Amino acid sequence: MSDVARTLVIALVTARGLTELTRVLPQALRRPWERTNHAGRTVTLLEGPTAVGATLAGVLAGPAPRGAAVLAVLVPGVLGGLDDLVGDPTTKGLRGHLGALRSGRVTTGVLKIGGLGGVAVVTALMEMASVATAPETKGAGTPSLRHAAVDSVVIAGTANLVNLLDLRPGRALKVTTAAGFALLLPAHSRPVAGALVGVAAVLPEDLAGESMLGDCGANALGALLGLALVRGLTPGGRLTAAAIVTGLTLVSERVSFTRVIESTPVLREIDAWGRDR
């Protein structure tokens, strides 16, 4: 079995196994993860820890080096889980959390913003060191700190962007799965992309409105997607990706993605595919 196939299968099997496990957890353990979704239905955010566990299993089953990928999943997942469990639901968006900080209030969202930025920088530097010492890149030039800065923006920005999409059943997972399939093509991003595709095993529950990624799952999958982009794109492509995720993040402070999607026929049909309308 190839590295990418092993990564995908392990992530898929783990995702299904953890999903079934969450169904039999005592209600006392499930209750803190329950929320009311946009349609007024009770959903569980345990899909988030499930996605983190499945992605980690897939990454660990893949080829070395694994450190950057593990870091990109684990830290955003923990920070997102903290925000899911004890975060202030009335403070939203980058502007809201920074506004709270200016008024002297440190929210879990502020901690998450700082943490995502920090882990993105560390992950990008680990990738830079890995590329610089890889035999196949010897003589191709050493990556610069400028490249690492761009890569940091891609990883942190994608982690945040996927979280912004997790507002309707299946929306965020459709994006990470589709991007994961595309990133199976470049050789360097295949194992990481395989883990992203494997986690799509939780899509039936997400589309049914029974569960959702929450900050825990969305931040983790988003950061791993960012790492896959870093590994799969050229320096110019990564710069373009950084510009796109930064632009979309700034636009999201003033424009509702849901409103744009629902007012655009093609996007509306893709967004609604597989779920009750």
- Single out the residue of 156, 155, 162 nearest to residue 178, CA to CA: 162
* 264 within domain boundaries: yes
- Cα–Cα distance measured from residue 235 to residue 150, given in angstroms and rounded to the nearest whole number: 9
pLDDT score of 92: 67
Average of per-residue pLDDT values in the chain: 90
Residue with tokens 């636009």: 251
- Cα–Cα distance measured from residue 204 to residue 39, given in angstroms and rounded to the nearest whole number: 17
- The per-residue pLDDT for range 131-167, each reduced to its tens digit, is 766 555 444 455 678 899 999 999 999 999 999 999 9
pLDDT score of 132: 63
* 70 within domain boundaries: yes
Angle at the Cα of 37 from the Cα atoms of 36 and 42, rounded to 5 degrees? 45
pLDDT at 47 over 70: yes
pLDDT score of 93: 61
* 106 within domain boundaries: yes
pTM: 0.92
* pLDDT band for position 129 (cuts 50, 70, 90): confident
* 190 within domain boundaries: yes
Q: For 50, left (φ over 0), alpha (ψ -120 to 50), or beta?
A: alpha
* 277 within domain boundaries: no
Structural domain boundaries, residue 186: 3-272
pLDDT at 266 over 50: yes
Overall number of domains in the chain: 1
pLDDT at 271 over 70: yes
* 75 within domain boundaries: yes
Instruction: Provide mean pLDDT across the span 19-31.
Output: 95
* 23 within domain boundaries: yes
Helix (H) or strand (E) holding 143: none
pLDDT at 277 over 60: no
pLDDT score of 138: 46
Q: Which residue did the predictor score with more confidence, 105 or 269? A: 269
Give the distance, in angstroms, between the CA of residue 154 and the centroid of all CA atoms in the same chain: 12
- Integer-rounded Cα Rg, in Å, for the chain is 18
Burial of residue 162 (number of CB atoms within 10 Å: 0-12, 13-18, 19+): buried
Q: HSE on the CB side for 257, CA within 13 Å?
A: 19
